[in-house]
Every structure is written in C-alpha cells, then in structure tokens.
C-alpha cells in the first residue's frame, strides 16, 4: 500500500470563473511541480475539457480523473467522477438535456473555452454553464450511480452552493461516496459542525480557479496504485485502503 | 389567521398536508436557503420559497412552521408531498412570484 496525494476539485479555462491561465498543459505541469499524484478536472456542468488533461497527464505519470462539478436544481454543487469514457459521455448527454440555456452576458469578459494540448482554442461555449440543472440532487445522484460514477457534494461548508447552506440537512437516503471540504477547513471541525455520518469520508481539495491555488488543499489516498478503481475502493475503505485529510 | 383561511383568500393550491390546514399563521418568512430558515425562521410562520426538495418539509417541521408556500407555479417533488402528509404540514402553491405573494401576505398578516 502506498500513500498518494490527490487534489480532486480543479477548474480549467472552460469554467467562466477560472483564470485564462488554467489550460490543460499548465494545470498538468503545475500539479506535478506541487507533488500531486492524482488530480480531477471538475468544471461547472461540463466534462468537455477532461479528456485532454487526462491524456497530458498520462504523458508525465499524473493520474487525471474525469469529472464535473454539477449544479443541482437546489443549487448544490456536487462533484461526479467517472472511470470510463463512455459513461462520462453519457453523463455529458444528461447535462446537455437538463441544463437551461442562458447566454453569457455580452461584455462580461467571461470565457468558457475548450482548449487542446498546446493551448489552442478548439471551441468556445456560448451558453452560461454556471446554472442549475433542472434535476434535483437526488435525481442527479441516482444518474451518477446508474452510470457507475462517484458522487461527492462539493465544499459542503460553503455558505452558498454547499449542501448544508442549500438544504440545511443531509437529505435522507441521499447516497454520497464522500463529501468535499474547502482547503482552509479541518476535517474534525466540519464533522463536528454538521454531524457528518462517521462512515462518510471527507475529501479536502483546492477548488482551484488559478494555477497558484492548485494543491493548496489535498487529500491523502492510501491505495495499491493510483487509479480510478483504487480511488473508489479507498472511498469505500476496502482492503485497508483509506482516504485521509485530517 | 388559519392556513385554511389564507388558502381561500389568496386562492392558493393545497398540494399536501391537509391535516395541518387548521394551523395558525403568526407571521411569514421568505428564503430559499434552507440553512437560513433553520437559523432564523420562527415558529408559526408561513415560509415562502421556490425550493421544492423534501428537506423543505423536514426543516418546516423542525422549526414548527405553519406551512410552506411554493411560488411561481412550482410543484413539490413526490418525496416532499409524502413527507408533508406524514408530518401534517401543508405545502401550498401559487402562480404569483415571491415578490407579489409576499406583498399580499404582508397586507393580510401585518396590515
């Protein structure tokens, strides 16, 4: 068993709120420099940038999990992670089906760019991605799990867009694989404040919107190797694997 | 004023929780952040919101609110209806926006 350092909540230039410098190449280089073994790409309501980052990561031995930060109807931000490309594409289709189409405000200087390995712009998305899907948190959780993905509410302690700010309590029956916390927070404090069920692992992440923030928050994963499947088993605590951000 | 009287006067839809129509309304609270309602709403208030999740009823019950009023023709989810029926807390609806219905309610309750 080995200990791997993971930062599993990162935005790219595809998120309107992220800096333009957040290109796939720059993210991979920076993540390596900061000593990360695994990162996850989780843009707002889009998976379109994940595969390029994954390919770049493979070239330098950085494990990249393809994911998304999906906004529920209640405006709870939730991370979803997928191990298979086909399932990721199916979840993208689900997003496309349920995301309201709102234009980016003209003159707002917001960009949502899909870029290639060498920072070339492949596509600009012109509908604003930071909006809630017309699906409840429960429906989205069910779809993520139907597709074999992992479902982790993001930054649960945030005063806006966190599970507890939006919904007050952890909904009965909602199946979470873990809960994300902000990089400034300590696991013990969050567990105490929100009375998080003991068996539910917490994951600290940077939620980086700029290169400087990558790796500010991370989680240590005790696993056999640095793969999606091992990560899933670590969340479930299988065979002595573990997730730690104490 | 009783919930049932308000339903009649403002022509509100009763989705569920009919058992609680005799509850007394002592004020109102407007918020779409459930944590805010948990922290700041007061017993006996009618809660105006656009959130339709079942946690709305869980929090209305916790805070002993009179009833929940969904705005802009929104409908409760099935889990919300079930929870509302078992708790006896009415979930109501209106076609009005939050601004409009809050104005009307203010006149009825405080005016």
Cβ <8 Å between B35 and A73: no
3-state secondary structure of B23: coil
Cβ <8 Å between B34 and A73: no
Best residue in A71, A73, A74, A163 for a mutation probing chain B (most B CBs within 10 Å): A74
Chain A segment 183-242 residues within 8 A of B by beta carbon are: none
Give dist(CA A194, CA A180) in Å, integer: 13
Beta strands in B3-109 (DSSP E): 13-16, 27-30, 45-49, 67-70, 91-93
Position A224 scores a pLDDT of 98
Kindly state the tokens that stand for B10.
Answer: 């403002």
> Could you read off the pLDDT tens digit of each residue along chain A, which spans 246 residues?
999 999 999 999 999 999 999 999 999 999 999 999 999 999 999 999 999 999 999 999 999 999 999 999 999 999 999 999 999 999 999 999 999 999 887 777 788 999 999 999 999 999 999 999 999 999 999 999 999 999 999 999 999 999 999 999 999 999 999 999 999 999 999 999 999 999 999 999 999 999 999 999 999 999 999 999 999 999 999 999 999 998
Cβ <8 Å between B38 and A168: yes
Is pTM, for the whole model, over 0.80? Answer: yes
Can you name the CATH fold of B3-110? 3.40.1390
Give dist(CA A226, CA A223) in Å, integer: 7
The residue in chain B having the minimum alpha-carbon distance to the alpha carbon of residue A136 is B53
User: How far is A245 from chain B, CA to nearest CA, in Å?
Assistant: 25
What is the ipTM score, two decimals? Answer: 0.89
Cβ <8 Å between A165 and B51: no
Cβ <8 Å between B33 and A74: no
Best residue in B29, B32, B33, B49 for a mutation probing chain A (most A CBs within 10 Å): B33
Residue ranges of domains in chain B:
3-110
User: How far is A42 from chain B, CA to nearest CA, in Å?
Assistant: 24
Cβ <8 Å between A165 and B35: yes
Cβ <8 Å between A136 and B58: no
Which of A125, A99, A132 lies closest to A13, judged by CA? Answer: A125
Position A192 scores a pLDDT of 95
3-state secondary structure of A158: coil
How much of chain A is helix, strand and coil, in % rounded to 5? 30, 25, 45
Position A111 scores a pLDDT of 87
Chain B segment 64-93 residues within 8 A of A by beta carbon are: 77, 79
Position B40 scores a pLDDT of 97
Cβ <8 Å between A172 and B52: no
Give dist(CA A142, CA B16) in Å, integer: 25
Greatest CA separation found in chain A?
Answer: 53
* Chain A residues inside the 8 Å CB shell of B51: 74, 166
């Amino acid at each position: 068993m080995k200990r791997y350092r993971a930062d599993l909540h990162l935005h790219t230039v595809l998120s309107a709120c992220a800096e333009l410098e957040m290109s796939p190449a720059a993210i991979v280089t920076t993540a390596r420099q900061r000593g990360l073994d695994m990162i996850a790409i989780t843009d707002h309501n889009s998976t379109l940038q994940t595969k390029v980052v994954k390919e770049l990561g493979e070239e330098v031995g950085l494990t990249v999990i393809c994911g998304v930060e999906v906004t529920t109807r209640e405006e709870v931000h939730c991370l979803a992670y997928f191990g298979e490309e086909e399932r990721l594409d199916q979840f993208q289709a689900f997003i496309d089906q349920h995301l309201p189409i709102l234009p980016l405000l003209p003159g707002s200087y917001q960009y949502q760019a899909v870029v290639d390995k060498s920072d070339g712009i492949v596509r600009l998305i012109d509908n604003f991605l930071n909006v809630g899907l017309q699906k409840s948190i429960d429906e989205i959780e069910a779809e993520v799990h139907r597709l074999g993905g992992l479902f982790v509410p993001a930054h649960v302690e945030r005063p806006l867009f966190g599970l507890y700010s939006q919904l007050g309590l952890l909904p009965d029956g909602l199946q979470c694989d873990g809960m994300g916390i902000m990089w400034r927070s300590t696991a013990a404090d969050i567990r105490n404040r929100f009375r998080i069920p003991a068996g539910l692992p917490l994951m600290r992440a940077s939620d980086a919107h700029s290169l400087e923030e990558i790796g500010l928050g991370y989680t240590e994963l005790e696993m056999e190797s640095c793969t999606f499947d091992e990560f899933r088993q670590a969340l479930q605590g299988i065979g002595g694997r573990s997730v730690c951000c104490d | 004023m009783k919930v049932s009287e308000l339903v009649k006067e403002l022509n509100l839809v009763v989705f569920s929780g009919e058992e609680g129509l005799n509850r007394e309304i002592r004020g109102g609270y407007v918020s779409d952040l459930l944590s805010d309602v948990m922290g700041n709403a007061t017993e006996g208030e009618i809660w105006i919101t656009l959130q339709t999740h079942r946690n709305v009823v869980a929090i209305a019950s916790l805070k002993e609110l009179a009833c929940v009023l969904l705005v802009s023709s929104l409908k409760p989810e099935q889990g919300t209806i079930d929870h509302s029926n078992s708790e006896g807390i009415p979930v109501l609806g209106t076609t009005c926006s939050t601004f409009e219905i809050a104005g009307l309610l203010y006149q009825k309750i405080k005016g």
